[in-house]
Amino acid sequence: MSTLLIKNGEIITAMDRCRSDVYIQEGRIAAIGTDLDVSAERVIDAAGHYLLPGGIDVHTHFDMPFMGEVSADDFESGTAAGIAGGTTSIIDYVVPAKEQSLLEALETWKAKAKNAVADYGFHMAVTWYSDQVAREMQVCVEEEGIPSFKAFLAYKDAIMVNDEELFSMLKASRELGALIMAHCENGEIISELQEKFFTEGGTEPVYHALSRPSYAEGESAFRLTQMARSLGVPAYFVHMSCRESTKVLVEGRAEGIDLYGETCPQYLLLDDTVYEQPDFRGAAYVMSPPIRPKGHAEALWGAIRSGQIQVVGTDHCPFNLKGQKEMGREDFRKIPNGAAGIEDRLKLLYTYGVLQKRITLQQLVAVTSTNPAQIFGMYPRKGTIAIGSDADIVIWQPKGEGTISAETHFHKVDTSIFEGMKTEGGPAVVIAAGRVQFENGKLDVEPGAGRYLPRWLNT
Q: Which residues bind Zn ion (CB under 5 A)?
A: 183, 315
Q: In the complex with ligand URP, which residue's Cβ is closer, 61 or 223?
A: 61
Choose from ligand URP, Zn ion, none: what does 287 bind? Cβ within 5-8 Å by kind. Answer: ligand URP
User: Given the complex with Zn ion, which of 91 and 433 has the nearer CB atom?
Assistant: 91
By C-beta, is 183 or 381 nearer to Zn ion? Answer: 183
Q: How far is the CB of 356 from ligand URP (least distance, A)?
A: 26
Minimum Å gap between C-beta 115 and ligand URP is 21
Calpha distance 363→371 (Å, rounded): 10
Our CB check for ligand URP shows the closer of 21 and 315 to be 315
The site partner of 338 among Zn ion, ligand URP, none (C-beta below 5 to 8 Å per kind) is ligand URP
Which runs of E-coded beta strand occur in 349-392? none
Question: How far is residue 419's CA from residue 277's CA, in Å, rounded to a whole number?
Answer: 13
Chain Cα centroid distance, residue 154: 18
**Residues 6+ away with beta carbon under 8 Å from 300:** 240, 241, 243, 246, 263, 267, 268, 309
Angstrom distance (rounded) from CA 311 to CA 371: 6
For residues 413, 414, 415 and 416, what is the CA-based torsion angle, rounded to 10 degrees?
A: 50
How many C-beta neighbours within 10 Å does residue 2 have?
A: 14
In the bound state with Zn ion, the residue whose beta carbon lies nearer, of 92 and 136, is 92
The CB-nearest residue to ligand URP is 337
Residue numbers of the site for ligand URP (CB under 6 A)? 61, 183, 287-288, 315, 317, 337-338
For residue 450, the partner it binds in Zn ion, ligand URP, none, with Cβ less than 5 to 8 A by kind, is none
Number of Cβ atoms within 10 Å of the Cβ of 376: 27
351 touches which of Zn ion, ligand URP, none (CB within 5 to 8 A by kind)?
Answer: none
Question: Which one of ligand URP, Zn ion, none is in contact with 343 (Cβ closer than 5 to 8 A by kind)?
Answer: none
Nearer to ligand URP, 212 or 455 (CB): 212
- Minimum CB separation of residue 31 from ligand URP in Å reads 41
Q: Among ligand URP, Zn ion, none, what binds residue 268 when CB lies within 5 to 8 Å by partner kind?
A: none
- Minimal distance, residue 152 CB to ligand URP, in Å: 6
Amino acid in position 128: W
Q: How far is the CB of 315 from ligand URP (least distance, A)?
A: 5
We find the least distance from the C-beta atom of residue 95 to ligand URP, in angstroms, to be 8
Q: Are 83 and 430 in contact (CB under 8 A)?
A: yes
- For residue 27, the surrounding DSSP H or E stretch is none
Q: What are phi and psi of 131, to 5 degrees?
A: -60, -35
- Select 11 or 154, whichever has its Cβ closest to Zn ion: 154
Work out what residue 21 binds among Zn ion, ligand URP, none; the CB cut-off runs from 5 to 8 Å by kind. Answer: none
Q: Are 131 and 167 in contact (CB under 8 A)?
A: no
Whether the CB-CB separation of 434 and 27 falls below 8 Å is answered with: yes
Closest-CA residue to 77 (of 30, 29, 27, 112): 112
Shortest reach from residue 397's CB to Zn ion, in Å: 30
